Amino acid sequence: MAELVITEKPSVARSIADALGVHEKHDGYLQGHGMVISWCIGHLVASAVPEDYDPKYKIWRYEDLPIFPEEWKYKVIAQSGKQFVTLKKLIAYIHEANTEKRKADLFSKVRSGEVRILMGSTQKMGAGTNVQDRLIALHDLDCPWRPGDLEQRAGRIVRQGNQNPDVFIYRYVTEGTFDGYLWQTVENKQKFISQIMSSKSPVRSCEDIDETALSYAEIKALCAGDPRIKEKMDLDVDVARLRLMKSDHQTKQYRLEDQILKKLPEEIDRATQVIAAFDKDIATLEAHPLPEEDFIGMRSGETVITDKEEAGNLILESCKKSSRGEVIPIGEYRGFDLSVQYDLFNNRFQMMLKGALTHRVDAGTDARGNIQRLDNTLANMPQRLEDTKARLENTRNQLASAKAELGKPFPQEEELKTKSARLAMLDAELNLDRSAAQPAKDKNKEEPDR
């Protein structure tokens, strides 16, 4: 989509066109190198004269004055009419498309590039305005009241279907005006929304920004371009950031205290007990080693089963009895009590070898395979012991680090105090303290008798 340049008069347009090498002439504009350069002829539109409202105003009478129309009218200047029509084809105002058919026709012209500038409000050009095909730039002429309105505006151009790999978004702010306050208000609203949506902020409260009111002094300072307003806005951001950091620091200190007093010692005690239990079970396992070829056997009651296939089938038969989740004892295998249970939550059968610890392994459908699974679980016990020892060492290191960090002060405390004091001073100077702005009652003044 070509860039559109509109100048005040034809001579300026020709000078710009010559400088840019744009020489392709059309009726009312020049085109070339991806640019369209057009012009006004001074003013294209003027205010309507009184007689355009009512013919009687062609001759003024004293009793008709003053003349205040209910709606102001404008008209195209006769000598500029042709150029006005040319520019009107290039520029459209969405509010004039007041029917669905007109809106569809307008959107089609924008997508094709016939209309090069489309203007309108956020409400009229929000959701449903699918004209992104050739859009190259978006211009926000004002600051809306809601962050969502900015997202709606940007969503018209930053979306799938746009043929341009890069687009530009311009936002206009007038220095020394109310614009700064409006943008800060939208920023604060978006921060609050982001905190709620992301749950990343530890803040527990937020003031209702929609109810924020300005004192007369602040409005006056904004209009006058008072540099203290800019300083106050910067300090508001810095102090809020530092308070958030301090709150996060305090939360971490509370968490460290909880870890030192409860969580980490409990983990150390639990790991120590598990290690001692592993040592006992490994000793039991070493006392019942596997023979090189023959099956070591399985005890079930008073019976010793020496056939591997038969022992595996006994496990499968026991699984059928555990369909409701109860534990079904089978007997003893390699010094450990053997039982099976149906895991209702995970929908599977488990074999359990109980010694000082309970070692669980999923049961399969193959008789011999289940015996092999039991042996593999027991053989893996030394590695599990080493993993537990490593976790214990890591937990002890965490405890030492936590003790070293506990009690450390907030590193930016002095910066927070300095900036908070300066912010309070600016509030006082700018009369932003709402409570101080309330008129005080004269306590010495007597109330009249009623």
Shared domain for 260 and 325, answered yes or no, is: yes
> What type of residue sits at position 374?
L
Question: What are 436's two structure tokens?
Answer: 């101080």
Report the C-alpha dihedral over residues 198, 203, 208, 212, rounded to 10 degrees: -110
Contacts of 165 (CB under 8 A, 6+ apart): none
Question: What are 29's two structure tokens?
Answer: 């504009």
Shared domain for 162 and 272, answered yes or no, is: no
Q: What is the pLDDT of residue 198?
A: 59
Of 152, 175, 198, the residue at which a domain comes to its end is 175
Shared domain for 133 and 208, answered yes or no, is: no
Instruction: Compute the distance between CA of residue 30 and CA of residue 39 in angstroms, rounded to an integer.
Output: 10
How many C-beta atoms lie closer than 10 Å to residue 153's C-beta?
20
Shared domain for 310 and 282, answered yes or no, is: yes
- Is 71 domain-assigned? yes
Shared domain for 180 and 71, answered yes or no, is: no
- Is 445 domain-assigned? no
- Is 434 domain-assigned? no
Shared domain for 170 and 180, answered yes or no, is: no
Shared domain for 290 and 363, answered yes or no, is: yes
Q: Are 335 and 285 in contact (CB under 8 A)?
A: yes
Angle between helices 367-379 and 308-321 (to 10 degrees): 90
Residue 339 main-chain phi, psi, to 5 deg: -150, 170
- State how beta strands 336-343 and 348-354 pair: antiparallel
- Is 272 domain-assigned? yes
Of 175, 194, 210, the residue at which a domain comes to its end is 175
Neighbour-count burial for 7-45, b at 16+ CB within 10 Å, e otherwise? beeeeebbebbeebebeeeeebbbbeeebbbbbbeeebe
Shared domain for 168 and 192, answered yes or no, is: no
Q: What is the pLDDT of residue 349?
A: 92
Residue 13 main-chain phi, psi, to 5 deg: -60, -40
Q: Are 245 and 316 in contact (CB under 8 A)?
A: no
100 burial (CB, 10 Å; 0-12 / 13-18 / 19+) is: exposed
Instruction: Compute the distance between CA of residue 1 and CA of residue 110 in angstroms, rounded to an integer.
Output: 10
Q: Are 163 and 212 in contact (CB under 8 A)?
A: no
- State how beta strands 74-76 and 45-47 pair: antiparallel
Q: What is the pLDDT of residue 332?
A: 94
Shared domain for 44 and 112, answered yes or no, is: yes
Of 225, 240, 266, the residue at which a domain comes to its end is 225
Shared domain for 300 and 371, answered yes or no, is: yes
Q: What is the pLDDT of residue 195?
A: 64
Angle between helices 381-405 and 367-379 (to 10 degrees): 40
- Is 431 domain-assigned? no
- Is 439 domain-assigned? no
Question: What are 87's two structure tokens?
Answer: 């520019």
Shared domain for 197 and 334, answered yes or no, is: no
Contacts of 360 (CB under 8 A, 6+ apart): 350, 351, 352
- Is 107 domain-assigned? yes
The residue range of the domain holding 354 is 228-422
Q: What is the number of domains present in the chain?
A: 3
pTM of the entire structure?
Answer: 0.49
Instruction: Compute the distance between CA of residue 36 and CA of residue 51 in angstroms, rounded to an integer.
Output: 38
Q: The tokens 């290039």 sit on which residue?
A: 90
- Is 405 domain-assigned? yes
Shared domain for 158 and 187, answered yes or no, is: no
Report the C-alpha dihedral over residues 231, 169, 165, 122, rounded to 10 degrees: 130
Instruction: Compute the distance between CA of residue 170 and CA of residue 156 in angstroms, rounded to an integer.
Output: 14
Instruction: Compute the distance between CA of residue 86 and CA of residue 94 in angstroms, rounded to an integer.
Output: 17
**What are the average pLDDT values for consecutive 10-residue runs of the chain, which has 450 residues?**
76 88 84 81 78 83 81 80 80 84 87 84 77 85 81 83 87 74 74 63 48 49 68 85 92 93 95 96 92 85 90 91 84 94 88 95 92 94 96 95 93 95 88 47 46
- State how beta strands 3-7 and 24-26 pair: unpaired
Q: The tokens 């409570």 sit on which residue?
A: 435
